Structure formats: structure tokens, C-alpha cells
Amino acid sequence: MELKNIIYEKNLGIATITLNRPEKRNAFSVSMRQEFAECLKDASKDDDIRVIVLTGKDPAFCSGGDLARISESYQERKVKFSFPEKPSQTPRLLQILEKPTIAAVNGDAAGAGFDLALMCDIRIAGERARFAETYVSRGMVPAGGSYLLPRLVGLQKACHLIFSGEWIDAKEAERIGLVLKAVPSEQLLHEADQLAAKICKQAKYAVQLSKKVIYRGLTTDFDTHLEFVGYVRAVAARSGETEEGIGAFLEKRKARFEP
């Protein structure tokens, strides 16, 4: 595929997607969104890929949507029709993806860029990273952030961040549990790759099924959740991973899972 707004690399089971519109602080344009979706689809279908790392070309992670295009879109809708428009589902692709995703947040993550980081399973921040739900400052309402942020940092802190549009730095993001950890900027991609490599060594299907039960569990009751876990455990067992994992433990050796 031809990519103009994304850098897409694969190495040792890790797919790295770099948002590449630095002159626009990696704001999402229509073409960038399409390329991003294509890269995610490719990584999803590639059996050699186990983990996806998402980052931005310096100096920003992602400043959100391209406001010039959004302004044009609103003007068009005012002229043509007035019914609501469903928010972009592009960031949602990260969460419904079976494979684990890691956001390596290298700079500002604002608005839809903040939501993009929230959609990843794990977030690591460089020391220059900053986060803000800037929607209200633009007269807009957050989409993914309004759903995920309260679940990550609690209702009161989520309300504070969304209502005020306040920026927080990497250390504060770590303190409130928004990111796994904050690291020196020059170590950011190394830290993300190290974590991705650890995940790659685990049982492939067990990891993917664990992601599925985690997110399904957010919207189901406990009994339903346990029933679903029973089902996916049977799937993992049929893959041979359970037998190998338990066998390795009993034989006091490292498990040899399928690559």
C-alpha cells in the first residue's frame, strides 16, 4: 500500500505505526485516517504480527482532528442538513483489534489524539508528552474519551479533565493511572518495544483471548463474564497453548509457544 501520512514498519513480531504529518502536529486528515485503518487491517491479518505500537512523528503524538476540515464539514452540514453525525470510528479499530496495542506518546495528545491513546491497551509516555481533552474549548463534545476516561482515572478526575480542557504532563498522567509509566523521551520507543517483545513471548491465543475477555467484561455482569471466560479457556486449550504452558511449569522449563 502507498502511504503518505503514515510510517508503517514490521520487525520481530511488532508492527509500528507512526503518524506522519509533523507539520500539522499529526492531526488526522481524511487520507491519514484511511491509511491508518489500512495499516491496522494489515497488522490484524498478518500472523507474524503479535503486538502493535502506535506513536507520532515528533514533535507531537496527535493533535486531534484536522480542524480546518472539520470546520468545512460543519459548514456543509449547516447548508445541506441538520441531523447529527456519528463520530469517527477509526480509533475504535484499536480496541476491537484482537492483538495488543501500545501507545508510545511522544508529545502532545489532544482531543481525538488523546482519545486515540486511550483506545490503546497500554500507554507509555515520554517526558515531553502532554494530554488534554480539548473538545469543550472548541465547542465540541468528546466521544471515546467520555467513555474510557472515567474507567481509567475515575469519574471526578475525568469530569475535571473534560470540563476544563486542562493540560496535564507525563508525570501527572502516570500518577493518576492514565499511562503505565513516564520515561525519558529518548527511551520511549525502546521501552515500548521492550514491553511489546515481552508480550510476543507469551502464548499468542491466550493473550488475544485475554484482551477479548477484558473488554467484554467492562459491559457485562460477573456471572456472564465467567461463562464467557469458560468458553475462551476451551478455545485456548484446543490451541495446545494450555497443555504446553502447564507442561513447561511442571517440567521446570520455559514454555515453547508457537511463534
Going from N- to C-terminal start, the domains of the chain cover 6-200, 204-250
Residue 95 has a pLDDT of 80
Phi-psi bin for 104: left (phi > 0), alpha (psi -120 to 50), beta?
Answer: beta
Which amino acid is residue 74, in one-letter code?
Answer: Y
DSSP β-ladder status, 108-110 and 181-183: unpaired
CATH superfamily assigned to domain 6-200? 2-enoyl-CoA Hydratase; Chain A, domain 1 (3.90.226.10)
Distance CA 103, CA 56 (A): 9
Distance CA 94, CA 23 (A): 25
Distance CA 119, CA 152 (A): 11
Taken as a whole, the chain contains a residue count of 259
Q: Would you say 116 and 103 are in contact if contact means Cβ atoms under 8 Å apart?
A: yes
Distance CA 175, CA 162 (A): 18
Q: Which residue has cell 472539520?
A: 70
Tell me the fold of 204-250. Lyase 2-enoyl-coa Hydratase; Chain  A, domain 2 (1.10.12)
Which amino acid is residue 173, in one-letter code?
Answer: A
In sequence order, the 6+-apart residues with CB closer than 8 A to the CB of 4 are 20, 31, 35
Question: Among 134, 132, 90, which Cα is nearest to 109's?
Answer: 132
Residue 258 has a pLDDT of 82
Q: Which residue has cell 492531526?
A: 27
Q: Would you say 22 and 28 are in contact if contact means Cβ atoms under 8 Å apart?
A: no
Residue 143 has a pLDDT of 87
Does the predicted model carry a pTM greater than 0.75?
Answer: yes
Give me 6's grid cell. Answer: 503514515
Residue 57 has a pLDDT of 97
Dihedral angle computed from the Cα positions of residues 24, 26, 30 and 34, in that order, rounded to the nearest 10 degrees: 150
Three-class SS of residue 183?
Answer: strand
Answer positive or negative: Cα dihedral of 238, 242, 245, 247.
negative
The ranges of the chain with pLDDT < 70 are 67-91
